[in-house]
Amino acid sequence: MKILGISGSLRKGSFNTALLHAAVELAPAGVELVARTIHGVPLYDADLEAAEGIPEKVQELKELAISADGLILFTPEYNNSLPGVFKNAIDWMSRPSSDIAHVFGAKPIAVLGASPGNFGTILSQNAWLTVLRTLGADPWFGGRLMVSRAGSVFDAEGLIVDEKVKQNLAKFIEGFAAFVADHKKS
């Protein structure tokens, strides 16, 4: 099984990118979790799309999403909602609109995230639901992971030092992989 994980943060020391890399290491046997970020995705501009087509980085993400059995969004939370730069990347991936069903349609998708704040990424995760519904995705509601106070969860190298978070992340990835496996059967 192949799952694409995308970190929606551009920050070099991103907690969400660190969470994604930890998830890669914790993926159960038989599950390949491919890690990507949104670095290199330009701001969406219909004139750019018309003149030059889909940017190379966006095309790479689209192809990975199409070939993946599932998709996990590792989302930060900015101002109590989803990050504009991450939404921008998903917007690009939905272009041209005729590709939406091919890239996202009925695709199993999970959302999780890490934040330095006290509430994790609960509002960001909730904000993604409208977007996922619009794209025709199949969101997984069987697990939720919101890593709060992320500065104390990771060390300076971005490794998880909180064993409970590590266990919860492993359980989340395992649960989503089971959802994807069931989805493939149907």
pLDDT, tens digit (0-9, with 9 covering 90-100), for 32-82:
999 999 999 999 999 999 999 999 999 999 999 999 999 999 999 999 999
> How far apart (Å, rounded) are the C-alpha atoms in residues 118 and 22?
21
> How far apart (Å, rounded) are the C-alpha atoms in residues 186 and 181?
9
Helix pair angle (84-93, 56-67), 10° resolution: 70
pLDDT at 125: 97
At 184, the pLDDT band (50, 70, 90 cuts) reads confident
> How far apart (Å, rounded) are the C-alpha atoms in residues 130 and 3?
22
Bond into 96 cis (ω within 30): yes
AA letter at 2: K
In the chain the domains, ranked by start, together with CATH numbers, are 2-185 (3.40.50.360)
pLDDT at 34: 98
> Tokens 């689209």 appear where?
62
Q: What is the DSSP letter of 42?
A: P
Q: What is the DSSP letter of 98?
A: G
Q: What is the pTM of this model?
A: 0.97
pLDDT at 186: 80
pLDDT in tens, 72-118: 999 999 999 999 999 999 999 999 999 999 999 999 999 999 999 99
pLDDT in tens, 159-174: 999 999 999 999 999 9
Contact 83, 76 (CB under 8 A): yes
Does position 119 have pLDDT exceeding 90, yes or no?
no
pLDDT (mean) for 116-138: 95
> How far apart (Å, rounded) are the C-alpha atoms in residues 4 and 107?
11
